[in-house]
Amino acid sequence: MQLTGAEILIECLKEQGVNTIFGYPGGAVLNIYDALYKYQDDIKHILTSHEQGAAHAADGYARATGKVGVCLATSGPGATNLVTGIATAYMDSVPMVAITGNVPLALLGKDSFQEVDITGVTMPITKHNFIVKDVRDLAKTIRRAFYIAQEGRPGPVLVDIPKDVTAHLTEYISEEPRKVQKVTQYITEEDIKNALNLLQNCEKPLIYIGGGVNHADANGDLVVFAERVDAPVCSSLMGLGGFPANHEFFTGMIGMHGTKTSNLAATKCDLLIAIGARFSDRVVSKMEGFAPNAQILHIDIDPAEINKNIPTHHHIIGDVKEVLKRLNKELTQQQNKEWIEQIKDWKTKFPLGYAKDGNLKPQYVIERIYELTDGDAVITTEVGQNQIWAAQYYKFQKSRTLLTSGGLGTMGYGLGACIGAQMGKPEKQVINIAGDGCFQMNCNELATAVKYNLPIIVVILNNGVLGMVRQWQKLFYDKRYSQTTLEQPTNFSKLAEAFGAEGYDVLVEEEFDEIFKKALASKKPVVINCVIGKDDNVFPIVAPGTAIEDVITEG
C-alpha cells in the first residue's frame, strides 16, 4: 500500500513493538506529528519540556525495560538539544533510536533556517547514524537502526529525515523484525578450557563486574558462577544490581569510591575475573598499580575493550550470559576458604559508615529509602555526591534498578530518566535521588511528570553547594571554593507546587519517614527537599593518580 514517509516511520515503530516515544514537535517534523495524531491509539507520545529531557527519558525507559528507547526532535536546535542525552546513552551502552527531522532535501547544505548537520555532529557518539534522502530507503533504515541499537554491545543510533522525505509517497510492506542474535561466534572450546584452568588453579580469585552483566540480564548466572568459584564479587558503579548486594560474597564498589575491602581484594588477589566491565579510570586509578599480583581474565562482548586499558592474560569475547552458562556447565566446585575468611575479616574491619551528629545525613536518607521501599524501587540518580551515596547505601539486589549516568556523568540526567523508567515500569516505584545543583539543570521536567500524573518521587540532597566539586576543592585545592557555593534562595518545595507537584522540606531525621511515607502513598509527583550539611562528604575516596588501596577515609 502507498503511505507517506511519516506514516511508514510510524508503521516501522509499530513493527518494532514501540508503544511509547518521547519528544518535542517542530517545523521539520510536522508530518511525523501529524501521523502520530492519526496513530495515537497505537503509540503514546510523551511531550517533554525540553529535548534533552526526551533523550534522557528514552534512555531511562531503555535501561529500566531492556527495550529500545525512542526520542524524536525537530531540526537544528531540537536535534542539538538531544546531543547530551545521546552521548550519555553511548557511554553507558544504552539501546536508543533518536529520530530527527531536517530541512527539505533542496535546502540541505545551504545554511537554511534551523538546519544543522546532525549526523556529522553525532558521529562520535552513536553506534551508527543515517540521513534518509529517499523515502524508498526509509523503512529499511528504521529497521536497521533498531537492529544496530540492540546487537552486540548496545548503543544509540540516530536517523535524520528531511521534511520532504516524510511527505513523499511510496509502497510500504510490513516485515517481522529481524531477531537479534546473541554474540557467541567467538566463544571457543579452547577459550573455555583456558578460563577453567585459571579458575581451578587460583587461591585468591576476585570477580569484578560492570554494566555488561546488567545489559545481559546475567545476574542469576553470575550468582551460580561466584558461588562455584568461591570468590568475592565487587562492582563498578554501572554493575550495581548485577549481583545481590546482600549476598555474603559481595564487597561493594571498587575504585575511586569503592569500599576498602574491594580495593584491598583487587590489590591482593591472584586472579581478577572482569565480567562485562571496561577497567575505566574511576575503577583502576593508577594503571601500573592495579591488581599487581593477579592474572587477568576478561569476559566482554566488545573486542575493542580487550587490552584497551589493562592488559589481560586471557579473554573470552561473547555475550556474558552465554559465557557464564558455558563456564558453569564445566566448572567444578572450588574451595578458597582462607581467602573468603580474609574478605570477611576486611568487611568487618572496614565497613561503610558515617558520623551521626544529630543532623540530617544523606546516607541516612538513602538507607531509609531502601528500607521503606523494601529494596524494590527503581532508583535514578543525578551525578556527584548524591549518585555515590545512592550507590553506596541503597542495597541493589536486581538488574535494571539503578539508572545513572556513569560514563558521561551528566548532571540533569536523573529526572528525565525517572520519567522514562516510570513510563516503562508503571508497576514500580521510581525514585530520583538528586543534588540541588543537578536538580536545577532539568527541573523543568517536573511539568512533564505532572502532565502525565506520574507517581515519581524526587529526593533532593540539598547542601547549598556543588558538593562533589567542592569536596575536591577541599581535599586537593586547599579549600579554594571557586564558584561551588550556590546558596540560592530557590524554595524547592514551593517550586514543586508551582509545577503542580507536591513539595516537602525535611530538616531533621525524625521528619523523613513520615514525609517519605506520604510520598509513597500520594500517587502523584512529589519533591522532598532534604537539607543537609555542606561539609557532608563522600568517603571512601581515592585521590586521582594513586593506587586504589590508598583509600582516604573520613577518619
pLDDT band at 150 (very low <50, low <70, confident <90, very high): very high
Would the pTM count as exceeding 0.85? yes
Domain covering 362-539, topology: Rossmann fold (3.40.50)
Give, in order, the Cα–Cα distances in Å from 267 to each of 264, 290, 328: 5, 7, 26
pLDDT above 90: percentage of residues in the chain: 97
C-alpha cell read off for 51: 529535548
Mean pLDDT across the stretch 12-17?
98
- Active-site option among 7, 127, 163, 473: 163
- What sign for the dihedral angle of Cα 59, 60, 62, 63? positive
Is 468 catalytic? The answer is yes
Q: Does the pLDDT at position 377 exceed 70?
A: yes
Is 11 catalytic? The answer is no
pLDDT band at 176 (very low <50, low <70, confident <90, very high): very high
Please give the mean pLDDT across all residues of the chain.
Answer: 97
- Active-site option among 7, 11, 22, 51: 51
Is 114 catalytic? The answer is yes
How many whole angstroms separate alpha carbon 422 and alpha carbon 429? 8
- Active-site option among 249, 468, 473, 512: 468
- Active-site option among 14, 15, 67, 114: 114
Strands (E), 412-515: 430-435, 457-462, 502-506
Is 193 catalytic? The answer is no
Is domain 189-349 given the CATH code 3.40.50.1220 in the classification? yes
Got the DSSP string for 261-315?
A: HHHHHHHH-SEEEEES----HHHHSSGGGSSTT-EEEEEES-GGGTTTSS--SEE
Tens of pLDDT, residues 21-58: 999 999 999 999 999 999 999 999 999 999 999 999 99
Mean pLDDT across the stretch 82-108?
98
- Active-site option among 38, 113, 140, 171: 113
C-alpha cell read off for 214: 546488567
Mean pLDDT across the stretch 257-271?
97
| pLDDT value, residue 530 | 98
Is 51 catalytic? The answer is yes
- Please give the DSSP secondary-structure letter assigned to residue 180: P
Mean pLDDT across the stretch 251-262?
97
Of 392, 394, 362, 391, give the one whose Cα is nearest residue 376: 394
| pLDDT value, residue 228 | 98
| pLDDT value, residue 487 | 84
Is the CB of residue 67 less than 8 Å from the CB of residue 10?
no
Mean pLDDT across the stretch 183-195?
96
Pairing type for strands 250-253 and 457-462 reads unpaired
Answer yes or no: same fold for 189-349 and 362-539: yes
pLDDT above 70: percentage of residues in the chain: 100
The CATH number fitting domain 2-171, selected from 1.20.1600.10, 3.40.50.970, 3.30.70.100, 3.40.710.10: 3.40.50.970
| pLDDT value, residue 554 | 77
Give, in order, the Cα–Cα distances in Å from 313 to each of 273, 297, 299, 316: 10, 6, 11, 11
| pLDDT value, residue 36 | 98
Spans of all domains in the chain: 2-171, 189-349, 362-539
Non-local (6+) Cβ contacts of 412 within 8 A are: 52, 56, 382, 438, 441, 442
C-alpha cell read off for 298: 576478561
| pLDDT value, residue 555 | 52
